[in-house]
Structure 1
Amino acid sequence: MMKTLCVAALVLSLSSVCQPASLACEKLLQPVDKAPDLSGRWYVIAISSSCILQLVASVLLPSIHVEVTSKETPNVFDYLIKMKMQGVCANETEHIFQENNKLFAVDSNNAADGDPDLLLQTGCSDCIVSKGDSVVNLLVLFSRRPNITAAELKEFETQAKCLSLTKPQVLDSDHDFTNCLSEEDEEAGVSFLRSIQQRLNDNYAITLKCIAESSLYYPKAAFEWAQETWASLW
């Protein structure tokens, strides 16, 4: 009888632990109610996706920000992406179409094209969380600030967990684009390749760790918690 009561208590404890997490996911995976004003500069703070993309981000560790400007066509924006890696800078311009809480690519007629990215809820007042799954599952945290608080980053990690994605990779926060090395500079190119090679050597285990954490974290954590709780009953 005592053991039966203990098992019942354990089940109730498990349900009480899972419920807050479930409620958090339910809230964080909801799209935003009101379309945000996209115009201006947004810093890419962190990304979460597949293990391979996480490896690429950790090896390249770029700093990225985007300059968003509205065009004459309603809801269409120019999206200037600025990226810096190991002192080498690059720019690329894209066009996006905003429809409430959805962001689309733009076709030649300035019309929405393809599958949209969805803007999710966030407790960060000057942040945007974008979820895309047209090619790969990708969760991106943008902010008006180049750095955010630990609590804000923790919330983004929770969103990634809710979507069964990897732990977010925080990008570099060096956004000084005034003194960049030229992409055509041979010495800069050699230095860049050496840096990438070193990062690969330092981070070769990231993919294996990522796969292990993604597939084993939740069952392992639940088992360890249940094991400790059970042991404490006796």
Structure 2
Amino acid sequence: MKTLCVAALVLSLSSVCQPASLACEKLLQPVDKAPDLSGRWYVIALPTSCYLQMMARVSPPSFHVEVTSKETPHFYDFIVKAKIDGLCGNQTGRFFQENNKLFDVDSNNASHGVPDVLLQTGCPDCIVSKRDRFLHVLTIFSRRTNITAAELKEFETQAECLGLTKPQVLHSDHDFTNCRSEEDKEAMAIHKNAQMQRFIDVTGSILKCFAESSTVMGNFTSMPL
């Protein structure tokens, strides 16, 4: 009887784990072909470190990317626009697309570095980008300013498959017609005061995040190689 109980337990665990592993196998596969990248893409969410979690909660940002195709095939210019507490900024760049990979390029249009890889997603108007540097960076972009709960849940599963934290959903305020200037001293004072109050409000959760991260790192470093 004891043997039968153990066997039943093993089978039940297998039935739970198998779908999860199959989901990860599918969700971590690169797309066969990248979609048309031209146009506007809103940054919806990304898994973050404790520091970025603090920044997102103290000064919740919103980002979107304007992508323009060049005359040379597979080359694109982009403008990243950011808004934090009514303060706005932007940054320009260029990238090269090769199937499901996106490479940074230099001033001579020569691709370099480790590319971003576009992963599978069930969201019909989204792209999920994975960048590997020292750590995985996973980002979901959409043509919409918000995605459905089911689409966000799938992205959370992708992050979990890579061992990343639960994604932080960014703000969806993309009105850049009425931005405050950094030269506006009154606006900057309001901005800093708001930051300080939110920092006080989230200190407890940030400390918890660092504690949990330390535990995870300790478990990781103690694993045999």
Q: Give the structure 2 partner of residue 137 of structure 1.
A: 136
Q: How far, CA to CA, are the matches of 2:212 and 2:17 in structure 1? A: 19
Say whether 1:121 aligns with 2:120. yes
- Secondary structure, in 3 states, of the residue corresponding to 1:74? coil
Alignment partners' CA distance in 2, 1:160 and 1:104: 22
Rounded Cα–Cα distance in structure 2 between residues aligned with 1:58 and 1:120 = 27
By how many angstroms is 1:138 displaced? Answer: 0.9
SS of equivalent residue, structure 1 residue 103: strand
What amino acid sits opposite 1:149 in the alignment?
Answer: T
Counterpart position of 1:228:
none
User: Number of matched residues?
Assistant: 216
In structure 2, distance between residues paired with 1:59 and 1:30: 34
Q: What displacement does 1:193 show?
A: 1.2
Query: 2:209 is matched with which residue?
Result: 210
**Structure 1 length-normalised TM:** 0.87
In the alignment, structure 1 segments of 5+ residues that lack a partner are 220-234
- The amino acid of 1:180's aligned partner reads C
Does residue 187 of structure 1 match 2:186? Answer: yes
Q: Which residue of 1 aligns with 2:168?
A: 169
Shift of 1:71: 1.6
DSSP-derived class of the 1:73 partner: coil
Q: Partner amino acid for 1:74?
A: P
Distance 2:5 2:167 in 1: 38
For residues 1-234 of structure 1, what are the structure 2 equivalents within 5 Å? 2-211=1-210
User: What SS class does the counterpart of residue 181 from structure 1 fall into?
Assistant: coil
Give CA-to-partner distance per residue, 1:52-94, whole Å, 9 cap, x none.
3233223221011010001223211111011111111111111
Q: Does the 8 A contact of 1:73 with 1:110 survive in 2? A: no
TM superposition shift of 1:200: 1.4
Moved more, 70-79 or 146-155: 70-79
TM-score (norm 2): 0.90
CA 1:212–1:125 in 2, change beyond 3 Å: closer, same or farther? farther
Q: Does the CA-based 8 Å contact 1:50-1:137 persist in structure 2?
A: no
Q: Percent identity?
A: 70
The one-letter amino acid paired with 1:10 is L
Is residue 166–residue 210 contact of structure 1 (8 Å, CA) maintained in 2? no
User: Does the Cα contact within 8 Å between 2:136 and 2:162 map onto a contact in 1?
Assistant: no
Aligned CA distance change for structure 1 residues 120 and 211 (closer, same or farther; 3 Å): farther
Report the CA distance between 1:211 and its aligned residue. 5.0
